[in-house]
Structure 1
């Protein structure tokens, strides 16, 4: 597998565009388009929140019922959530306008929105934006980057990833983009992610790969514990690499799964590290757990702990907060057997062993915790399974950003 520069336009046949449609922002692009020259097989996962935004309901229907997809229209600024029948009709109107402009089937158009909940979309601006998007779509890497910037809300940076693999002598490319900085606690935050590939793979096998991988990537991040109404991951495969079709239980499928995992994990970590107001990516690795599920639960409990996140912000080696989070996770374990470590580029230090604090230097611990990427390692000493979760520190700015988000 080879990491390459790019995003949703890295794979063959994919184009993208961005435009300032004036949805909510006055001085930046706020609509994006992803388009494939050929129809794509589709896979997707969506929020588990009972309150689902109109685009989620619309896309679920397309993914489940449409034979293929070919375009995605995305807007930032307004989430089109809790908007009733009117909001859903705007999804339909968006798909119709895009289909006409691109000369494709309405059933091949997906939509996505992110932003403030409860506001109706200015559909006239959406339709006008679609015309500009279709006229300006291009297949170069810069077009993909512009699209990734257009879907940002409180994000401080755009998020892209791309890789290439060899399948039966053919180069297969996967590329992706996402946005997410607040309301991030996916359970398939406001999280939108789009992955494109030129691989030849069936809808059934693509769906299997996506649903299995999301458990250890996007579902293992959290910024603030809030599962959004709009969480969406869409994966489109147009087959333009012309590789022999990938089959289940084959080396080619394993290679594809690894590449998909690399894209998903990279994007997930970028979201966690760009949490609202964050100054550090906060990672927790749980090792030697009795089961994979226990490892996931334990790791997620630590990165979701507000007290631990605040300690990371303060560069404070307050290991008691970590132990507390592990203890209320619901997993049964012996606290006198586990070991805790802090690590970063500045070094590694053990902070807890045999039920008490380890003999460590607070000064050294602070130095390790002052890096922009910090890891807590939890050794359960009770099995062979492991899991990793990603979050961020909790800062004053998180409250400032969310105290006036609608303004």
Structure 2
């Protein structure tokens, strides 16, 4: 079992963070962050499935798959460094070189990440100045980690971080993380950046496997607007400073590590879905009674990406026909005349349909349930025992306003 603790990327031993206002796009607010480990780390990563990949995604993928240790991550908000050609890749190299010089580490141990407007080139003078400003300000305090999580925000309204502690091999091990994401978020590495740090001693191969497996049920099960970003990146760094016996096989310690990692990833994923651009509610969809988990996932994703369903949640309208409709065009086979559907929130739980047909229910009670900040739709398709959960948000007027003038 793990214990939820306060903190984020600086919660684990040996990790520090800093942030600064570099003036990349935003004025009078921090827009750059640095994560640093006092010793080299084993690194794992997962990246966007969009064929149009930002330069930082290509850089990090090359570094992680190439086997190089990682010791620092440089993140900027405001400009995505996507669709920027060779110049964009050269800027990644310049960013790594500047960090290497400021931190006295190897350039190939520096990972980079960007989020913001696509197509604009980075102002490298400001990026390099930001790196020089952050290096002497690195601290391992929880406050510095929180400040870093705020510096990487774009249209986010809340910073997002989480941390847990778990005992592995008799030693306390910490996993912490921070992320940003509010729009251009859709399953399959949803713009979304997540940085996870741990002092666990674990092989690079198992670190990568743990991350790759876990994103299937966490980050890949969220959607805000159906758009898969060019910049999606999840990085997991492990520096081994906890002193636990190194995890080199899938034993009980590996299982416990994966459970703790899952808490971090699911918590951060839900924070992103619940902070979707302009949203007022986190919308959770649970599919029960499926034949396979894949069938349940397809159905759950179809519902959370339905614009009509998202609009109904915003209007606190128990328009269950939209949910059944979204399940019907998902591509997954099921019998609509066997479906039971419920709405649930802090205000209670209410059955809406039984065997595909509406039951008598109070519209007033349904509205109360759908008026909460977290709303769940539960659909039982009565075909088996498999389940899946997906997370999204409602669709509001403000989503259009935010994205109509995002570049200005």
> Aligned partners of 2:356, 2:168: CA distance in 1, in Å?
50
Shift of 1:358: 1.3
Note if contact 1:186-1:231 (Cα within 8 Å) is conserved in structure 2: no
> Aligned partners of 1:67, 1:97: CA distance in 2, in Å?
18
> Are residues 1:339 and 2:340 paired?
yes
- Residue 94 of structure 1 corresponds to which residue in structure 2? 95
Q: Runs of at least 4 residues of structure 1 off by over 2 A?
A: none
Unaligned runs of 5+ in 1: none
Which secondary structure does the structure 1 equivalent of 2:37 belong to? strand
- Residue 307 of structure 2 corresponds to which residue in structure 1? 306
Question: What do residues 338-391 of structure 1 show as CA deviations (whole Å, max 9, x unaligned)?
Answer: 110000010000001122111111111001000000000010111111010000
> Aligned partners of 2:187, 2:31: CA distance in 1, in Å?
23
Shift of 1:249: 2.5
- Residue 275 of structure 1 corresponds to which residue in structure 2? 276
Question: What do residues 219-241 of structure 1 show as CA deviations (whole Å, max 9, x unaligned)?
Answer: 00000000000000000000000
Note if contact 2:81-2:118 (Cα within 8 Å) is conserved in structure 1: yes
> Aligned partners of 1:29, 1:178: CA distance in 2, in Å?
15
Note if contact 2:190-2:222 (Cα within 8 Å) is conserved in structure 1: no
- Residue 177 of structure 2 corresponds to which residue in structure 1? 176
Which secondary structure does the structure 2 equivalent of 1:336 belong to? helix
> Aligned partners of 1:393, 1:67: CA distance in 2, in Å?
41
Q: Which residues in structure 2 correspond to 1:21-100 (within 5 Å)?
A: 21-100=22-101
Q: Which moved more, 1:248-257 or 1:15-24?
A: 248-257
Shift of 1:255: 0.4
Q: Which residues in structure 2 correspond to 1:389-404 (within 5 Å)?
A: 389-404=390-405
- Residue 227 of structure 1 corresponds to which residue in structure 2? 228
> Aligned partners of 1:60, 1:286: CA distance in 2, in Å?
34
> Aligned partners of 2:357, 2:65: CA distance in 1, in Å?
52
> Are residues 1:360 and 2:384 paired?
no
- Residue 293 of structure 1 corresponds to which residue in structure 2? 294
> Are residues 1:349 and 2:373 paired?
no
Which secondary structure does the structure 1 equivalent of 2:300 belong to? helix
Question: What do residues 190-243 of structure 1 show as CA deviations (whole Å, max 9, x unaligned)?
Answer: 000000000000000000000000000000000000000000000000000010
> Aligned partners of 2:35, 2:385: CA distance in 1, in Å?
42
Which secondary structure does the structure 2 equivalent of 1:215 belong to? helix
Shift of 1:301: 0.6
> Aligned partners of 1:400, 1:189: CA distance in 2, in Å?
21
Note if contact 1:66-1:108 (Cα within 8 Å) is conserved in structure 2: no
Shift of 1:188: 3.8
Question: What do residues 264-295 of structure 1 show as CA deviations (whole Å, max 9, x unaligned)?
Answer: 00000000000000000000011110001001
Shift of 1:67: 2.6
Note if contact 2:190-2:219 (Cα within 8 Å) is conserved in structure 1: no
Shift of 1:169: 1.3
Note if contact 1:73-1:111 (Cα within 8 Å) is conserved in structure 2: yes
TM-score when scaled to structure 2?
0.99
Which secondary structure does the structure 2 equivalent of 1:283 belong to? strand
- Residue 381 of structure 2 corresponds to which residue in structure 1? 380
Question: What do residues 24-82 of structure 1 show as CA deviations (whole Å, max 9, x unaligned)?
Answer: 01110000000000100000000000000000000000001143100000000000000
- Residue 259 of structure 1 corresponds to which residue in structure 2? 260
- Residue 105 of structure 1 corresponds to which residue in structure 2? 106
Note if contact 2:339-2:355 (Cα within 8 Å) is conserved in structure 1: yes
Note if contact 1:186-1:222 (Cα within 8 Å) is conserved in structure 2: yes
Q: CA RMSD in A?
A: 0.7
> Aligned partners of 1:116, 1:58: CA distance in 2, in Å?
19
Note if contact 2:185-2:229 (Cα within 8 Å) is conserved in structure 1: yes
Note if contact 1:54-1:80 (Cα within 8 Å) is conserved in structure 2: yes
Question: What do residues 307-351 of structure 1 show as CA deviations (whole Å, max 9, x unaligned)?
Answer: 000000000000000000000000011101111000001000000
Shift of 1:189: 4.4
- Residue 158 of structure 1 corresponds to which residue in structure 2? 159
> Aligned partners of 2:270, 2:113: CA distance in 1, in Å?
21
Which secondary structure does the structure 2 equivalent of 1:401 belong to? helix
